[in-house]
Amino acid sequence: MTLRSALLLVVCTPTLLVAGEFNKLLKIGDAAPAWKELPGTDGKKHALADHASKEFVVVVFTCNSCACSIEYEDRIIAFAKKFQDKVALVAINVNTIPEDRLDAMKKRAEKKKFPFEYLYDESQKLAKDYGATYTPEFFVLNKERRIAYMGALDDKTNPPDVKDKYLEPAIEALLKGEKPAKTETAARGCMIRWKRTRD
């Protein structure tokens, strides 16, 4: 190995370790991007700071238009109800097509009786800050509001086919003061519909 190659390896290696295994922007332990003044289906504005009383916050990027997200809705509702005393679940939609805009979100939230906040980020900035690419994609924020788990809720979209759960065991471990057995998994679902931009 030449001296130049060795120097490049030393300089470049830390950069390659910045992101997680699947997330191209964040890694476990990173500070979670905060939000404020995001409109919700309840007609109010919401912020991460609103959940200061909760030990953990679960952020899920989801939407109305993705069939995979719809498949997960009942599981997300069940999770939110099971851990509601200590965990705040916040669903965030960043898609901007008509069926994903706030008026449609309100109808969906009412139909499904979501027991959690369903927020709209038209700017799409929050999803970009989290390095999210799919709906649904989950992030667990610990007491210090750092990333403790990110990825999928479980291993299969179709409920009867599920063999391994990821999100629930992660929360159960964290509530015991333990590190989750799996802290990052590959999210899957529909790609977030990013706005087209011109350079």
Residue 77 has pLDDT above 50, yes or no: yes
Question: 3-class DSSP state for residue 72?
Answer: helix
Q: How confident is the model at residue 18 (pLDDT cuts 50, 70, 90)?
A: low
Does the pLDDT at position 5 exceed 80? no
Q: Is the pLDDT of residue 141 over 90?
A: yes
CATH number of 54-191: 3.40.30.10
How is the chain split into domains, by residue range? 54-191
User: What is the average pLDDT score of the chain?
Assistant: 92
Residue 11: which H helix or E strand, with range?
helix 3-16
Distance separating alpha carbons of residues 95 and 65, to the nearest angstrom: 9
Report the predicted TM-score, pTM, of the whole model to 2 decimal places: 0.89
